[in-house]
């Protein structure tokens, strides 16, 4: 299907430890806990949310963006207890260019457990398997080492640095671009550890060994 098909039925994605599903209004409190930690916004131009009402409004906006077919936002949910631990977005997309751009964020207490890498791999796998996307890219401030590492571990390649792309928090910020192409996935070295389905049609995510593209 084309990327536009993602807006006909919401694409729920399951991994070993996570479920990526659509947000509901009931998720506001959990998302507020994730987003109200200042460190989460350290490498972002956006301000730290300060109220639950603000998050409720944010969830309304995300739903509207999905209905308008401009953005897909997944709640990242832990399978073991159904806690919302963050969000994952397909922020830009184009069927004309077979292109999508993604971004993600986790509550601080969930960092360092491999969840972002697991979610990124799963979304990439889903898009390459179920849509005609050819290129998926992601961007991060140069200072955001953890996010760049997630992109690398998921098999994306570093493509370049847009120097002083933003002026934010009192300084010019360099922006790193990472991307993965359909042809990279077809490359055995990348495809094997990243995109394999088990019998239950769930994506398997073996260890990180060997998943680096180069
Ligand atoms: C970026 C973010 C999503 C990473 O999530 P995560 O689940 O902790 O990521 P993972 O555990 O899958 O992988 C993180 C990797 O970065 C590494 N890392 C983290 N901080 C690091 C640092 N300061 N220096 C070097 N490596 C670092 C970790 O060791 C790990 O790599 P490894 O598996 O090789 O050890 C999370 O930190 C976050 O939500 N940050 C705030 C929002 C944000 O920056 N979003 C991305 C915007 S582009």
168-182: pLDDT as tens digits: 999 999 999 999 999
Q: Tell me how far the alpha carbon of residue 151 lies from the centroid of ligand 1, in angstroms.
A: 9
- Cα 43 off chain centre by: 16
pLDDT for the residue numbered 214:
24
pLDDT for the residue numbered 33:
96
Question: DSSP 3-state assignment of 77?
Answer: strand
Write the CA distances from 24 to 27, 63, 202, integer angstroms.
Answer: 6, 9, 23
Closest-CA residue, ligand 1 atom 18, reads 146
pLDDT for the residue numbered 186:
81
pLDDT for the residue numbered 195:
42
Identify whether the C-beta of residue 108 lies closer than 8 Å to the C-beta of residue 37.
Answer: yes
pLDDT for the residue numbered 189:
52
Q: Which residues of the chain have pLDDT under 50?
A: 190-214
Residue 147 Cβ contacting ligand 1 at under 6 Å:
yes
pLDDT for the residue numbered 112:
97
| Cα separation, 30 vs 9, whole angstroms | 24
Closest-CA residue, ligand 1 atom 5, reads 116
* Encoded tokens for 74: 């997944």
Residue 146 Cβ contacting ligand 1 at under 6 Å:
yes
| Cα separation, 110 vs 138, whole angstroms | 21
Identify whether the C-beta of residue 90 lies closer than 8 Å to the C-beta of residue 104.
Answer: no
- Topology given in CATH for the domain delimited by 3-197: Aminopeptidase (3.40.630)
- Cα 118 off chain centre by: 10
Domain edges within the chain: 3-197
List strand residue ranges (DSSP E) for the chain, in order. 13-14, 18-22, 72-78, 84-94, 99-106, 135-141, 157-168, 171-181, 196-197, 203-204
């Amino acid at each position: 299907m084309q990327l536009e098909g993602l807006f006909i039925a919401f694409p729920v994605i399951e991994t070993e430890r996570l479920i990526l599903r659509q947000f509901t209004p009931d998720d506001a409190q959990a998302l507020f806990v994730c987003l109200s930690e200042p460190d989460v916004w350290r490498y972002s131009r956006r301000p730290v949310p300060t109220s639950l009402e603000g998050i409720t409004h944010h969830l309304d906006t995300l739903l509207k963006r999905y209905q308008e077919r401009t953005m897909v936002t997944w709640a990242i949910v832990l399978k073991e207890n159904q806690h919302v631990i963050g969000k994952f977005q397909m922020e830009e997309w184009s069927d004309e260019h077979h292109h999508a751009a993604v971004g993600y964020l986790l509550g601080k207490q969930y960092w360092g457990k491999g969840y972002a890498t697991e979610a990124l791999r799963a979304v990439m796998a889903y898009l390459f398997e179920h849509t005609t996307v050819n290129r998926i890219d992601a961007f991060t401030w140069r200072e955001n080492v953890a996010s760049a590492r997630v992109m690398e571990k998921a098999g994306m390649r570093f493509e370049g640095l847009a120097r002083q792309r933003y002026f934010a928090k009192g300084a010019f910020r360099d922006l790193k671009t990472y991307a993965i192409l359909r042809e990279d996935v077809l490359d055995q070295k990348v495809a094997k550890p990243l995109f394999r389905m088990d019998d239950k049609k769930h994506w398997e995510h073996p260890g990180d060994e060997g998943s680096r593209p180069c």
